[in-house]
Amino acid sequence: MLNWLVGPALMFALAWLLLPDQPAYRTGLIVVGLARCIAMVLIWNDLSCGDREAGAVLVAMNSVFQILAFGLLGWFYLRVLPGWLGLAQVDARFSFPTIAGSVLVFLGLPLLAGFVTRTVGERARGEQWYEQRLLPRIGPFALYGLLFTIVVLFALQGGTITSRPWDVARIALPLLAYFALMFGGGFVLGHRLRLGYAKTATLAFTAAGNNFELAIAVAVGVFGVASGQALAGVVGPLIEVPVLVALVHVALRLRPRFAV
């Protein structure tokens, strides 16, 4: 509910409320709101002593949901809902097929490659060899690819970021509000449901985190690498990382309140 109903709707509302005169940045933030976290949330979860098993399940669910629902939700929040509310719609380039194609390339193909690799590896050499020998060798390449992507994106958008500090600040404001509201709402909900601290922390960080890599990939694929939509996606990690590090400390400070 928090990830796929509340989160996208909240980002849509914040983007329109705080960026009514910036359609490119607004669209980029709405795309960010649709991209639920499937990677970095595991790090925040571990740092805050959350439930690892629950985190893994939620990440897996988010991965599947993004492949199945991201394109449909993007079409709804950028084409359908604005029309219902009498607001400006994103141009026709942002159609269901274009966004679904970006998601399939960015998430579907890696998921298929991982499935094939595990299936073939375990059948050929066994689970122990796959887990203890192969994964440690190929695992770092995911980090290398992420770092390479970040370097390229900041190389292309760095000039814009440094020359438009006011634009960056305006993009940051709805992001800050989003992180605070989603994290706080997750913690309150977990406390009310008596999930215990570990599962509540996992719930809160999963709700607050976003898959900026996917959002950037979609923005670049649809609008171009130098677009305002891509800039909004690139600014996202600049805000998310320090804010969620701070929220880890907040979560740990709240931990004693959950003691039985």
C-alpha–C-alpha distance, residues 209 and 225, integer Å: 23
Find the mean pLDDT for residues 34-52. 89
Look at 37 and 246; give whichever has higher pLDDT: 246
Q: How far is CA 52 from the centre of its chain?
A: 18
> What is the rounded CA–CA span in Å between residue 94 and residue 62?
22
C-alpha span between 213 and 219 (Å, rounded): 10
- Confidence at 259, pLDDT banded by 50, 70, 90: low
Question: Is the confidence at residue 92, as pLDDT, over 60?
Answer: no
User: Please, what are the domains in the chain?
Assistant: 2-255 (1.20.1530.20)
- 8 Å CB contact between 38 and 59: yes
Q: How confident is the model at residue 91 (pLDDT cuts 50, 70, 90)?
A: low
| Residue 37 near residue 210 (C-beta atoms within 8 A) | yes
With tokens 């141009």, the residue in question is 91
224-257 confidence digits (pLDDT tens): 878 899 889 888 888 888 999 999 999 999 999 8
Read off the pTM.
Answer: 0.86
User: Pick from 135, 105, 134, 95: which is nearest to 222 by CA?
Assistant: 95
DSSP conformation letters of 84-148: HHTPPPPPTTS-HHHHHHHHIIIIIHHHHHHHHHHHHHHHHH-HHHIIIIIHHHHTHHHHHHHHH
**What is the distance of C-alpha 227 from the center of its chain?**
19
Distance CA 246, CA 50 (A): 15
Residue the block writes with tokens 């003691």:
259
Instruction: Calculate mean pLDDT across residues 209-222.
Output: 85
pLDDT of residue 70: 87
Q: What angle is formed at CA 213 by the lines to CA 42 and CA 183, rounded to 5 degrees?
A: 45
Task: Give the Cα separation of 177 and 222 in Å (integer).
Answer: 26
